[in-house]
Chains A and B, each alone.
Chain A
């Protein structure tokens, strides 16, 4: 990899690098009309699409917007500048643009790109892509030969409206990955409102009606069935943004958390009978501790306090405090203040986020891509900034401390995805940036031991999504979901400090419990479901 400048730009242990070949500009096409969609895009994925053992990068692009957009709306994405892009990682750590070769250049003609989910929905061993859009979504089936086929129509998952984040999960534990899609607002270009005096700004979401989220059940034959209504998902009208899948009540059934913008959050509890119940209020994760709604952006799930129960972070806007909900036996307690996050995030706006152990000390740290939603916020509130540098927060026994940064530029960060790009046992990060090239952070942390597991389901879905892996007090659930608009490395990573071997316990979605004793550390280990 080539370093961006003659001096290292650092965020804690993360170094901002510019590997050759990642030539992607996120074109969000800001207009004088302040179409709200412009400020919301920026999905990306870290996936090993060709199974060569190296993570590749997929970026969702926005689209071309005329100023103003005229009827009939044509968002012409056939121009290469507006394509989504797939970059294959080569052996030397550089990347090659394989978008056209992979058949992913067909982004659609009447949509504006948002996010991406990754999962092997047909269990053929190769990760597939589901791209969300304002407009129709697209499912790209991975053929296993370096190409993808647009399987949207055959699968019946085009949706419509304004989809934002999506996640693959096996909610009914039948061994086939199902698909959840969050949707934002009932909005279109010709119903865009002008807000703000004297400075025109993107309208608050409360100026528009919300909409419903979607759940598609995988029938196992290449087709999906829309079960949003029968499963109890469609009854909750929200303003969905981020999606995270995790088993919050440890009943063995994956639950779904959706961050909503400007209203209460949604926690869909999986009842285990094909139905969900929205229980965010009852579970204590709907609002901040003073009963206020906030601008929910990303959702990050992870057991940050190593008590065996997955916790949740929802990022939001400056002056709101990122909301950290500590899971105490299936009931959440707002813990933003005691964890130090309230003070850290008081004047900062967060988008993509993830709990990962960046220093391999056995505690999950927190990374957040940042920026305000309003590109002219400085004119409206002199104390706030539109562009912000990303934040890395070290977890010191359950309390977060901001890592020092050196020379890190402020950007309009949006999606963030996590994974070990160079397979060195340290988690790297990629951030999408509105109007700019993505930021790629390579983790230079050394010293502590680690273990990364790649699960291969046999009775469970092939990805093993939904499996719960434990090493000592640590727990990680297998999922590519979480953050904002983005999909992360499906491999499960543990930081182990000075530990030189590990006892691993895996609870597979099929119900199989697997134990591995005395596993050597500092390796990437493939584990097949017995």
Chain B
């Protein structure tokens, strides 16, 4: 632990002059892996200096390492009774309690220690989902690729979502939102007919309910029925002219329908509504390519590649950019982009 050497210095500094040798002996023994020796030395230390909080922390840490959990807990609690603000003791105690399944008891200690990752987990395990999410997000900001954090944050969102939706269905089973929810759930599960039925029921109750027509559009688009998908996306876009998502989806489906100029116009509108949305930029580039506006398409793809470096979209953008540059006669740059595409593809395959 990063604060370990500070605590050690603090212990030596806090120790009465005649006990400094004992403290140093305990630290050396622990460092050498001699847990029994370390425990003996720290026990002698706390017996001689029972009011030095750091001594209890070190003894607790050595006991913890040796698997003597009950005694370790007692040591950390004793240290905190002497110095309630002792962060290291809070961290130890919070971690210990979380590991022993006492998530609720761990929370106050991890809060004081500002251990966002473990606090997020403790809150999640305690059922305090709404509080867990910001803690885990704070931790994830520091370690964005950490698989454990990604898992726990995903789980927290999922559990919270389930809780809220269960409540919605319980309290308002015949509401438009309940039908929308069930429709989206059926859609996700691939039950197209049930999804369509629920989404249509939602619309029958609230014809302007946001998101329902988008879901219907997705349903038809996934089945390859682009004409009906476009009609739904159009209805959503007309009802919510400031909705970039609706404009993006309509623009993309117009492209698949071969209505190139309309697609460009709609995707440019989506771009104005929400600049720098990578998905919009990419679809717009495809539409502009079909409209033979190659420079404008290349500009959007370059922007995607500034925003994303190794996503699926970045891979596709590098590929598409290489094709455009070759058509523009920029063969050297095209080769570079093709190489970039291959590099991203290889990286993604490794992942």
Complex contact A343–B227 (CB within 8 A): yes
Distance A382 CA – B317 CA, assembled complex (angstroms): 32
B341 in contact (CB, < 8 A): yes
Complex contact B289–A289 (CB within 8 A): yes
In the complex, which residues 309-351 of chain B have their Cβ closer than 8 Å to any Cβ of chain A? 315-320, 322-323, 326-327, 338, 341
Complex contact A381–B289 (CB within 8 A): no
A299 in contact (CB, < 8 A): no
Distance A383 CA – B192 CA, assembled complex (angstroms): 8
In the complex, which residues 188-219 of chain B have their Cβ closer than 8 Å to any Cβ of chain A? 190-193
Residue with the highest number of chain A CB atoms closer than 10 Å, among B227, B258, B289, B290: B258
Residues of A contacting B: mostly:
loop
Distance A343 CA – B254 CA, assembled complex (angstroms): 10
Complex contact B323–A342 (CB within 8 A): no
Complex contact A346–B320 (CB within 8 A): no
A282 in contact (CB, < 8 A): yes
In the complex, which residues 355-411 of chain A have their Cβ closer than 8 Å to any Cβ of chain B? 381-383, 399
Task: Knowing A319-B224, A343-B226, A346-B226 are in contact, say whether A289-B256 is a contact too (CB < 8 A).
Answer: no
Distance A525 CA – B190 CA, assembled complex (angstroms): 56
Complex contact B326–A347 (CB within 8 A): no
Complex contact B258–A342 (CB within 8 A): yes
Task: Write out the residue numbers on chain A whose beta carbons fall within 8 Å of the beta carbon of B322.
Answer: 281
Distance A399 CA – B259 CA, assembled complex (angstroms): 11
Task: Write out the residue numbers on chain A whose beta carbons fall within 8 Å of the beta carbon of B242.
Answer: none
Task: Write out the residue numbers on chain B whose beta carbons fall within 8 Å of the beta carbon of A383.
Answer: 192, 222-224
B260 in contact (CB, < 8 A): yes
Task: Knowing A342-B258, A346-B256, A381-B190 are in contact, say whether A333-B289 is a contact too (CB < 8 A).
Answer: yes
Task: Write out the residue numbers on chain A whose beta carbons fall within 8 Å of the beta carbon of B121.
Answer: none
From the candidates B225, B258, B282, name the one contacting A290 in the complex (CB within 8 A). B282
Task: Write out the residue numbers on chain B whose beta carbons fall within 8 Å of the beta carbon of A289.
Answer: 286, 289, 320, 323
Task: Write out the residue numbers on chain B whose beta carbons fall within 8 Å of the beta carbon of A382.
Answer: 190-193
From the candidates B191, B224, B258, B316, name the one contacting A292 in the complex (CB within 8 A). B316
Closest to A329 in B: B327
Complex contact A399–B327 (CB within 8 A): no
Residues of B contacting A: mostly:
helix
B255 in contact (CB, < 8 A): yes
Complex contact B256–A337 (CB within 8 A): yes
Distance of A356 from chain B, by nearest CB (Å): 22
Complex contact B225–A282 (CB within 8 A): no
B66 in contact (CB, < 8 A): no
A530 in contact (CB, < 8 A): no
Distance A321 CA – B222 CA, assembled complex (angstroms): 12
A483 in contact (CB, < 8 A): no
From the candidates B190, B227, B258, B318, name the one contacting A337 in the complex (CB within 8 A). B258
Closest to B342 in A: A281
B257 in contact (CB, < 8 A): yes
Closest to A281 in B: B338
Task: Write out the residue numbers on chain B whose beta carbons fall within 8 Å of the beta carbon of A338.
Answer: 258, 260, 290
Interface size on B, as a range, is: 20 to 34
A318 in contact (CB, < 8 A): yes
Distance of B296 from chain A, by nearest CB (Å): 16
Task: Write out the residue numbers on chain B whose beta carbons fall within 8 Å of the beta carbon of A342.
Answer: 226, 256-258
A287 in contact (CB, < 8 A): yes
In the complex, which residues 268-316 of chain A have their Cβ closer than 8 Å to any Cβ of chain B? 281-282, 284, 287, 289-292
A205 in contact (CB, < 8 A): no
From the candidates A290, A331, A399, name the one contacting B316 in the complex (CB within 8 A). A290
In the complex, which residues 148-193 of chain B have their Cβ closer than 8 Å to any Cβ of chain A? 190-193
Distance A321 CA – B257 CA, assembled complex (angstroms): 11
A328 in contact (CB, < 8 A): yes
Distance A383 CA – B254 CA, assembled complex (angstroms): 21
A480 in contact (CB, < 8 A): no
A339 in contact (CB, < 8 A): yes
Distance A346 CA – B315 CA, assembled complex (angstroms): 23
Task: Write out the residue numbers on chain B whose beta carbons fall within 8 Å of the beta carbon of A340.
Answer: 258
Complex contact B258–A399 (CB within 8 A): yes
Distance of A344 from chain B, by nearest CB (Å): 9
Query: 0/1 per residue, A320-345, Cβ < 8 Å to B?
Result: 01000000100101010111101100
Complex contact B326–A331 (CB within 8 A): yes
Query: 0/1 per residue, A447-475, Cβ < 8 Å to B?
Result: 00000000000000000000000000000
Residue with the highest number of chain B CB atoms closer than 10 Å, among A281, A318, A339, A399: A281
Task: Knowing A338-B260, A382-B192 are in contact, say whether A284-B326 is a contact too (CB < 8 A).
Answer: yes
Closest to B219 in A: A383
Task: Write out the residue numbers on chain B whose beta carbons fall within 8 Å of the beta carbon of A333.
Answer: 289, 323, 327
Distance A507 CA – B327 CA, assembled complex (angstroms): 28
Task: Write out the residue numbers on chain A whose beta carbons fall within 8 Å of the beta carbon of B326.
Answer: 282, 284, 331
Complex contact B258–A339 (CB within 8 A): yes
Task: Write out the residue numbers on chain A whose beta carbons fall within 8 Å of the beta carbon of B260.
Answer: 337-338
Task: Write out the residue numbers on chain A whose beta carbons fall within 8 Å of the beta carbon of B327.
Answer: 284, 328, 331, 333
Complex contact A291–B341 (CB within 8 A): yes
In the complex, which residues 493-528 of chain A have their Cβ closer than 8 Å to any Cβ of chain B? none
Complex contact B316–A347 (CB within 8 A): no
Beyond the given pairs A328-B327, A333-B289, A347-B225, 18 more chain A to chain B contacts, judged by CB atoms under 8 angstroms and listed by A's residue number, are A282-B326, A290-B286, A290-B316, A290-B319, A290-B320, A291-B316, A291-B319, A331-B327, A337-B255, A337-B286, A340-B258, A343-B227, A343-B258, A348-B224, A382-B191, A382-B192, A383-B192, A399-B258
Between-chain CB contacts (< 8 Å), 16 pairs: A284-B326, A287-B319, A291-B319, A319-B224, A321-B256, A328-B327, A333-B327, A337-B286, A338-B258, A338-B260, A342-B258, A347-B225, A381-B190, A382-B193, A383-B192, A383-B222
B residues whose Cβ falls under 8 Å from a Cβ of A: 190-193, 222-227, 255-258, 260, 282, 286, 289-290, 315-320, 322-323, 326-327, 338, 341
3 closest residue pairs by CB, A with B: A346-B224, A347-B224, A291-B319
